[in-house]
Chains A and B, each alone.
Chain A
Amino acid sequence: MNPITPIINGLRITLEHLFKKPVTLQYPTERPKVAQRFRGLHALNVSHDKAKCVACYLCPTVCPAKCITVEAGEDANHDKYAARYEIDMLRCIFCGYCVEACPVDAVRMTGEFELANYHRSDFVYDKERLLEKK
């Protein structure tokens, strides 16, 4: 092969890109459009003004990173609810198995990806922080 051809091919690709929409985002002034099936921060779904979670322990069981802590409680009607629901985002690998395992559609993953924080303790999201914001 002619030694010049690859160089010309390279330059051609560069030239083509000059006329395309840029891939780089000027974050944070420009924001990405998050895909609908993106797996970001978790949210606990709410129904009838309370979390749908019934504390069945399937998400902590399936979680490969062991980042979910659930403690069940008994409410006034003797029903089961999550007295404690915590996800340690430092451990989470965003695999989405928790969402898949949930039998009552109580947990989903949102498009929220900006999870940086200053303290380790701030990465542990408790039930209050995880409840979906209306």
Chain B
Amino acid sequence: MVNLTIDDKQVTAPKNSTIYDAAKINGIKIPILCHDKKLKPFGACRMCLVEVEQMRGRQVPACTTPITEGMIIRTSTPDIIKARKMVLELLLLNHPIDCPVCDKGGDCDLQNLTYEYKVNANRFSDEKFHHEIDYSNPLIERDMNRCVLCGKCARICDEIVSFGALTFISRGIETKIGCEFEGSLNCEFCGSCVSVCPVGSLLARPFKFKARFWALTNQKSVCGYCGTGCNLTLGVKDNKVLTTVYDENQGFHNGQLCCRGRFGYQFINSDKRLNTPLVRKNGSLTEATWDEALELVAARLKGAGSSAAALATPRLTNEELVLFKRLMETAGSANYDHSAGYAHAALTEGFAKSFGAAASPATILDIQKSDLLLVIKTDSYETHPVIGFEINMAVKNKGVKLNILSDKRGKLSKLPDAQTLVHTPGSEIAVINALAKTILDDKLAAGTAAAIPGYADLEKALAGFTPEAVAGQSGLAASAIKRLANDYAKAEKALILFPIGNAYPGHNADLASAVANLALLTGKLGTEGSGVLCMAEKNNSQGAVDMGFYATSGLNAGQIMDGCASGAIKTLFVAGENPVVSYPNRAAISAALDKVEFLVVSDLFMTETAAMADVVLPACSFAEKEGTFTSVDRRVQHIKPAIRNIGQSRTDFEIFGQLIAKLGGQAPATPATVFGEIAASAPGYAGMSYASLGETGAFAPVAVTAAFVVPKTVAVEPAAGKLALVTGSALYHNGTLSQFGEGPMHVCPEGYLELSRTDAAKLQIKENDLLNVASAIGSTKLKARITPRMPEGVLFSPYHFGAAAINQVWSGAPVTWVTVTK
């Protein structure tokens, strides 16, 4: 710590602080326009000028000057105030005074400072700018006439998002922020630039003219899309969520969000939300009362035993999942599952055996503290963009080495010094085994490894996985595998990341075991910056696993679907899942749901699955309920309602509670009571309560009991003349819910088929051509998207879209062999 004096106050601040940071942590406010705590100091705006006793005769910018022992700083002498006023006058010289129509009004740093420093006249005069305003995209409006050239947007886009869409163009008075070749913005649309803009130059179009900032009620919440667990502030007016509000002090990510988190909130107040319960009468769904609908469901569930089954979306809160499980147990059934029954297997089977706990022994915070990251699939950026930002920052700011093992290249491959090993689709487990084999052969294993149970079996099982043998089937060079194994084993701290989800059937228990073996062999576990992070798909996927909402003694999701088809399952309760779109093999799923005698669906929207139901119950979104979500690194976070229930909708907590009561069980009164039970029973949750979670949440610790498990490998046999289709997640979407978010749908409105330039040339396909994609189980039509990142012979398609129907082609295999015709 360094001792210094600021405004006659003795203060201390950590070494490496700037004057601005030192003042801030000691509660002294220095005005500034160009600073954000996530970004590197820049010194563009000159508002933070201060006087330092030891640097007499000049004013120094607080944001770029490091502190030294004994510094005497004055932040508001008459000279400094005069200088700051002049800075404001010069900024206002070209800044249009259109505050009444500017959406930033009320939240504008320049407006606030002008008011604070009473700059109500200008000694200078000049013409205002006449830059053309960019209205060309539906999410971000760019009005460079209002720009004060603080550079925050360009810096956040480069330093954190690592996209580099914006930069300074021209010199001198003509300087402006622009895109390449002065074109329009065409980027990831994460909106980071909008969030940090101190003036109204960059505005969120979905919120344009909707309300003034001071009319919004801010409610802190947790994002309802992916499993990262980003914190959100919802801006609410008249029971409507109108926007997400940026707060640089929120969450591990300091308010940083992705496209769907920032711009995908519209599903909450969508016109398409279900308002009343619906009951099928004479073949069509008609409006009914809650009593009528719940009576029907209760009558079917009462004593149903194993003929009843349940599927839940891992978007429900922990409390709701516990209650749903209890409802099924009251009905006498153990058939409940989520995420197609396989998407959570990496945790519930893989890690459960390898680590003795169905959770990742690492946190997101380890990413920036590591020395080497091994990312399995470049899709990790698309599935969890904010974790992707952490990787960007780790690589760019902390010099962390990035190694990627993937079946295609991606954005992460473009990071400085990123090593991407592109293997043939479906061979990742073999490659990881080859890494383990190299570590064993080169005597790189940690001394502790031999003592872990299963070591001898693993050694024996890996005999066939020499880098040379795997090189043939994976398309990698043996030397590359050896190099990666050496780098991983020799790094002091190393972290492995891989995504799981409905679209990644190959990321199963075996992959998890293979990855766990690597970490256990080298002892890269249990210390800061090391471990394995399994990135579960939905906002509460980890919670669903922790609550035990998966098949243990009953049928799993796949078997439930088979049971529906065979007639063994007579009543199916689907809460929030949309199996018709998100489970593989649509024809089989549709047939099964058609066959099942009684289908109950509780959902926000009339999804493809809800349309087939006998009873549809309108449920609530995350913004209307109280409960807890558990993120991928087991951070348990408490959410509170931001708005009242829409229409007659009820939370799943209420629905399950009322059904339990109707079945003669005891329904708990509030989510807090259920969370008390969770804290008493769920591993790692002990001692938690809503009060102790607070705003930041708490980590549920993971106790590791290590064991080596031999992963099964299934060699993918290439089919002659066919292309390998792999499914996955698009950057702008998560599950099927984001189809109801306007932001994501503006940027990525439909499914597509990504293919390499070579294949496109071979098949004479042009961008946006409508292609017929056919596999052994069916066919669908998708638009072509030709990208340089795809290797020859490999196709990629996102799975989120009901209309694109990729699951008519995809049967749930990690690799689907297809033919593509125009």
Contact = CB atoms under 8 A, between A and B. Distances in A.
Chains A and B are bound partners? yes
Interface of A: 54-58, 61, 72-74, 78-80, 103-104
Contacts of A56: 99-101, 105, 212
B803 interface: no
Contacts of B210: 72
Given A58-B100, A79-B101, A72 B209 contact: yes
A125 to B, nearest CB: 21
A80 B212 contact: no
B135 interface: yes
Contacts of A57: 211-212, 215
A85 to B, nearest CB: 14
A58 B133 CA distance: 25
B214 interface: yes
Nearest to B133: A78
Contacts of B135: 78
A69 B133 CA distance: 29
A55 B100 CA distance: 8
Nearest to A56: B100
B384 to A, nearest CB: 34
Given A56-B105, A78-B135, A61 B212 contact: yes
A27 B99 CA distance: 46
B208 interface: yes
Contacts, number: 30
Nearest to A53: B100
Nearest to A83: B209
Nearest to B211: A57
Nearest to B141: A78
A98 to B, nearest CB: 14
A104 B99 CA distance: 11
Identify whether the interface residues of A are mostly helix, strand, loop, or mixed: loop
Nearest to A78: B135
Nearest to A104: B100
A61 B214 contact: yes
B328 to A, nearest CB: 46
Nearest to A55: B209
A54 B101 contact: yes
Identify whether the interface residues of B are mostly helix, strand, loop, or mixed: loop
Interface string B99-127: 11100010000000000000000000000
A61 B210 CA distance: 15
Given A55-B209, A56-B99, A78-B135, 17 more contacts: A54-B101, A55-B101, A56-B100, A56-B101, A56-B105, A56-B212, A57-B211, A58-B100, A61-B212, A61-B214, A61-B215, A73-B209, A74-B209, A79-B101, A80-B101, A103-B99, A104-B100
A54 B214 CA distance: 17
Interface residues of B, number: 14
Interface of B: 99-101, 105, 133, 135, 141, 208-212, 214-215
Nearest to B210: A72
A55 B212 CA distance: 10
Contacts of B208: 74
A54 B215 contact: no
Which of A61, A73, A80 counts the most chain B CB atoms within 10 A? A80
A54 B100 contact: yes
17 contacts: A54-B100, A55-B209, A56-B100, A56-B101, A56-B105, A56-B212, A57-B211, A57-B215, A61-B215, A72-B209, A72-B210, A78-B133, A78-B141, A80-B101, A80-B209, A103-B99, A103-B100
A54 B97 CA distance: 14
B269 to A, nearest CB: 15
The 8 closest A-B pairs by CB, nearest first: A56-B100, A72-B209, A80-B101, A57-B212, A103-B100, A54-B101, A54-B100, A80-B209
Contacts of B100: 54, 56, 58, 103-104
Contacts of B105: 56
B63 to A, nearest CB: 32
B216 to A, nearest CB: 11
A67 to B, nearest CB: 16
A56 B111 CA distance: 15
B456 to A, nearest CB: 70
Contacts of A61: 212, 214-215
B772 to A, nearest CB: 41
Nearest to B100: A56
B187 to A, nearest CB: 21
Nearest to B208: A74
A61 B106 CA distance: 12
Contacts of B133: 78
Contacts of A103: 99-100
Contacts of A80: 101, 209
Contacts of A72: 209-210
Nearest to B135: A78
Contacts of B141: 78
B771 to A, nearest CB: 37
B141 to A, nearest CB: 8
Nearest to B98: A54
Contacts of A73: 209
Contacts of A79: 101
A55 B105 CA distance: 12
